[in-house]
Amino acid sequence: MPSLLILNGPNLNLLGLRQPEVYGSVTLSDIEEVCQARASALGFDMTFFQSNHEGLLVDAIHDARGTHDGIALNAGAFTHTSIALMDAITSVELPCVEVHLSNIHAREEFRHRSYIAPVALGQICGFGAQSYLLAIDALASHLGQL
Ligand code: CA2
């Protein structure tokens, strides 16, 4: 069965637990649950992982090669800073969809730049938890499962 990796970066473990006025009340484990349901419905296995550490995210991307068929990546604030994550995505040659809960282009200037976007199939942002489901649909369509 084809498999997807849903990868989450720094502070996303705090979703729903802190600053609900900015990021809403949905927790990362709620998001995992809806992603699991969508992935299964589309015929995918799914692994969902979060880390606050850039190197662990790089390791997870490297390990995806040969294990997973596509990646949905919410790199959090590393989106705007990490050449290491950009290089890791390039190196594994797996389709990657960049995901954000918020519309990063409607926020502070420093969030407008993404190091992930140039090496991703595309970017989905601004739809809250739904952004993850749209990313799974985009990967499914790219991989011929939709
Ligand atoms: O909108 C997104 O998904 C972001 O990736 C979220 C990141 C932010 O740095 C990006 O620019 C856009 C921040 C995630 C922080 O999540 C928190 C949740 C609750 C409390 C504090 C932070």
Mutation probe of ligand 1 site: the residue of 79, 115, 123 with most atoms within 8 A of C-beta: 79
**Residue 96, CA distances (Å) to 17, 21, 43 in order:** 28, 29, 18
pLDDT tens, 86-117? 999 999 999 999 999 999 999 999 999 999 99
pLDDT tens, 29-69? 999 999 999 999 999 999 999 999 999 999 999 999 999 99
Residue boundaries of the structural domains of the chain: 3-142
The two tokens of residue 108 are: 């502070």
Which stretch of DSSP H or E encloses residue 96?
strand 96-100
Q: How far apart are CA 23 and CA 10, in angstroms?
A: 14
Contact partners, residue 41, CB within 8 Å, separation at least 6:
none
Q: The tokens 């992935």 sit on which residue?
A: 39
CATH dotted code for 3-142: 3.40.50.9100
Q: The tokens 């739904």 sit on which residue?
A: 130
The protein residue with its alpha carbon nearest to ligand 1, atom 20, reads 18
What is this structure's pTM? 0.98
